[in-house]
Amino acid sequence: MIMFKKNLILRGGLKIERRRKIKYFSRWCEIQNINNFLLRIQLDENEQLSYKIR
């Protein structure tokens, strides 16, 4: 189980804060929060978490 900032849990699925919008891609998830920051999350083959905010 991977935890990110206490409100994001990736564990074969995605659980996230209720006020955020979730868009699913093949192995990418884009999460846009209420402040319009875009957080891109990717799990690689070893389920390591990489992310960027733009």
pLDDT tens, 1-13?
444 444 444 444 4
Task: With beta carbons less than 8 A apart as the criterion, state whether 13 and 2 touch.
Answer: no
Q: Kindly report, residue by residue over 37-48, the tens digit of the pLDDT.
A: 455 555 555 555
User: For residue 31, what are its two tokens?
Assistant: 């999460």
Quick count: other Cβ atoms within 10 Å of Cβ 25?
A: 10
Q: Answer yes or no: are the C-beta atoms of 22 and 29 closer than 8 Å.
A: yes
Q: Smallest Cα–Cα separation from 41: which of 5, 19, 18? A: 5
Confidence of residue 52 (pLDDT cuts 50, 70, 90): low
